[in-house]
Structure 1
Amino acid sequence: MTLTDFAQSQNENQFERIVGLAVIEHVEDPQEWLAWLRTLLKPGGQVVLTTPHPSVRQLHEIGGRIGLFSREGAKEHRELINRDRMIQLAETSGFRIRHFRRFLSGCNQLFVLEPI
């Protein structure tokens, strides 16, 4: 099944937990994407996301150039999202942030979102 097929299928209220590791920074419209994920969750479900912190943009670009990270991935970042921006995106998509923390020396962020 392709992502397009999945998106067009009837999956509302099907998932207890959705995990997106280093995905949201590649999405064209993060608010729309989160709103769509919201429709897929069962009541009481959670969305778990990780994303690089904006403060490490240059480090990520350099790491991509020298092969530490995906060169293509670094080029495809549409928006690096900080905590304040994620709060805004979550609230406009029908979520609240249940848990937040930075990890890997602050380079990455973990967000656990719950529907409100």
Structure 2
Amino acid sequence: MTDTSLRNLTREIIQQIADRDLDRIRLEPGSDREDFKLALREYPATFVAIPEHGLDEMDAFKPTSGYVSWCVELPLWTKEEGRSDMWLFLNVREEGGHLVGYVRGVRVP
């Protein structure tokens, strides 16, 4: 896995959020899709695609154990604010030779 592939996967998921294509987003097992959608709907701004420099704020780390390859955390961007205080929390696993992202949630930390 390369840094570029991790960035591309993260960008793709954020684009789905910006496009409000929330049913296509994979959620971590046990996560509630309606809670995820509600958190995004209730945020008082319009989510947009992340600018390239926004990906520089991505924190990606490997957990010491478990089946998750990477944990990713980064702020989302909005039309009104630019960098917002709403963050995306994502688990990334390698499955069948491909990276697959599973959203753990979004929240204001």
Does the TM-score normalized on the shorter chain lie above 0.5? no
Bigger radius of gyration: 1
TM (norm. structure 1) is: 0.27
Instruction: Point out the structure with the larger helix share.
Output: 1
